[in-house]
């Protein structure tokens, strides 16, 4: 049974070491052959790397727990060597071989414990590397967004300057255009005989219709602008209410009995595992 457990620990160690080596090669950190190499952060699936590293860290912790249990049993077995009376049919040479194998297994487990401790430290180092790569990728994305925002702001400023120039030209030519349109109407008879009126007596119809229409357009524009302001205020209020609901739900969940019981169970499990993983 001891040999089977030891073989299982060795297989887990080899699998964890292979995963760690592949992740070090992917990140370019931790192995001499990849030092100084630049990796494309966009091509790295940092979430998958983090999942693999966390899983292998748990495997290392479980292996250390199993090694502690095996070494503790071997220590108790060696301590009771003199108290155990083997049958007379057992050869003395076979007994010596058995105890020699037990000592070799204990030495191998101690060496494997040291290798697992080193492997776990390198896994933690790779976790830090992955987190730093995620921060670097987010920083580059933020810089890209800031650069795009700056370009959009510059383009908007250029468009605003163009619109300002068009508005200025319109304001310059608007009086002349308005007067030209007014004087070109048939309400004015510029070829009237001397003593005849130039202005038609129906000119008041133009002002009676144009004035109310202008006021109506201004009122509609004012109402449309006010409606947009009210809708914008409602959207801001809706977003604030949603944020408050999310914060309230998070606080309620964090203080719920189920969440507290689960947190206590996880904490007790980690403390128990850490205590049982101490080397003998």
Could you tell me the two tokens for 54? 């966390």
Say whether pLDDT at 163 is over 80: yes
Q: Which of 57-66, 125-134, 185-194, 220-229 has the highest mean pLDDT?
A: 220-229
pLDDT digits (tens, 9 = 90+) for 179-210: 888 888 888 888 878 878 888 888 888 889 98
Confidence of residue 4 (pLDDT cuts 50, 70, 90): low
Q: Is the pTM of this model over 0.75?
A: no
Q: How confident is the model at residue 220 (pLDDT cuts 50, 70, 90)?
A: very high
Mean pLDDT of 137-159: 86
Backbone φ, ψ for residue 38 (5° rounding): -95, 130
pLDDT given at position 221: 93
Whether the per-residue pLDDT at 258 is higher than 50: the answer is yes
Q: Alpha-carbon distance 210 to 222, whole Å?
A: 18
Contact 38, 140 (CB under 8 A): no
CA atoms of 29 and 131, how far apart (whole Å): 13
> Does the pLDDT value for residue 85 go beyond 90?
no
Q: What would the mean pLDDT of 216-225 be, rounded to a whole number?
A: 94
Instruction: Assess whether pLDDT exceeds 60 at residue 248.
Output: no
Give a three-class secondary structure readout of the chain: CHHHHHHHHHHHHHHHHHHHHHHHHHHCCCCHHHCCCCCCHHHCCHHHHHHHHHHHHHHHHHHHHHHHHHHHHHHHHHHCCCCCCCCCCCCHHHHHHHHHHHHHHHHHHHHHHHHHHHHHHHHHHHHHHHHHHHHHHHHHHHHHHHHHHHHHHHHHHHHHHHHHHHHHHHHHHHHHHHHHHHHCCCCECCCCCCCCCCECCCHHHHHHHHHHHHHHHHHHHHHHHHHHHHHHHHHHHHHHHHHHHHHHHHHHHHCCHHHHHHHHHHHHHHHHHHHHCCCC
pLDDT band for 277, please (50, 70, 90 cuts): very low
Token digits of residue 208: 């009676």
pLDDT digit string, tens, across residues 19-69: 777 777 777 666 554 444 555 656 677 778 888 778 878 888 878 887 787
- Whole-number pLDDT of residue 89: 53
Q: Identify the CA nearest to 178 among candidates 206, 153, 198, 201.
A: 206
Average pLDDT of span 210-219: 92
pLDDT at 26: 73
Query: Which of 261 and 197 is assigned the larger pLDDT?
Result: 197
Task: Indicate whether 14 pLDDT > 60.
Answer: yes
39's tokens:
């990796």
Residue 158 above 80 pLDDT? yes
Stretch among 1-15, 78-92, 207-221 having the lowest mean pLDDT: 78-92
């Amino acid at each position: 049974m001891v040999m089977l457990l030891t073989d299982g620990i060795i297989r887990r160690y080899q699998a964890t070491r292979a995963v760690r080596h592949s992740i070090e090669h992917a990140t370019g950190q931790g192995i001499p052959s990849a030092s100084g190499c630049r990796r494309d952060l966009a091509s790295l699936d940092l979430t998958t790397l983090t999942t693999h590293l966390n899983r292998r860290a748990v495997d290392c912790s479980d292996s250390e727990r199993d090694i502690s249990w095996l070494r503790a049993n071997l220590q108790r077995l060696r301590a009771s060597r003199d108290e155990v009376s083997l049958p007379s049919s057992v050869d003395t040479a076979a007994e010596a071989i058995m105890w020699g194998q037990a000592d070799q297994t204990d030495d191998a487990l101690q060496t494997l414990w040291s290798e697992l401790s080193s492997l776990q430290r390198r896994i933690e180092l790779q976790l830090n590397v992955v987190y730093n790569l995620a921060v670097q990728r987010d920083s580059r994305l933020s810089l890209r967004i800031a650069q795009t925002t700056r370009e959009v702001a510059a383009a908007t400023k250029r468009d605003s300057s163009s619109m300002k120039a068009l508005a200025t030209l319109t304001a310059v030519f608007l009086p002349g255009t308005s007067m030209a349109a007014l004087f070109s109407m048939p309400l004015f008879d510029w070829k009237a005989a001397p003593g005849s009126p130039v202005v038609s007596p129906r000119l008041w119809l133009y002002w009676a219709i144009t004035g109310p229409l202008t006021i109506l357009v201004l009122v509609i524009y004012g109402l449309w602008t006010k409606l947009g302001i009210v809708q914008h205020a409602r959207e801001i209020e809706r977003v604030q209410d949603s944020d408050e609901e999310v914060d309230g739900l998070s606080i309620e969940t964090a203080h719920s009995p189920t969440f507290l019981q689960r947190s206590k169970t996880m904490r007790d499990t980690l403390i128990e595992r850490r205590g049982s993983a101490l080397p003998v």
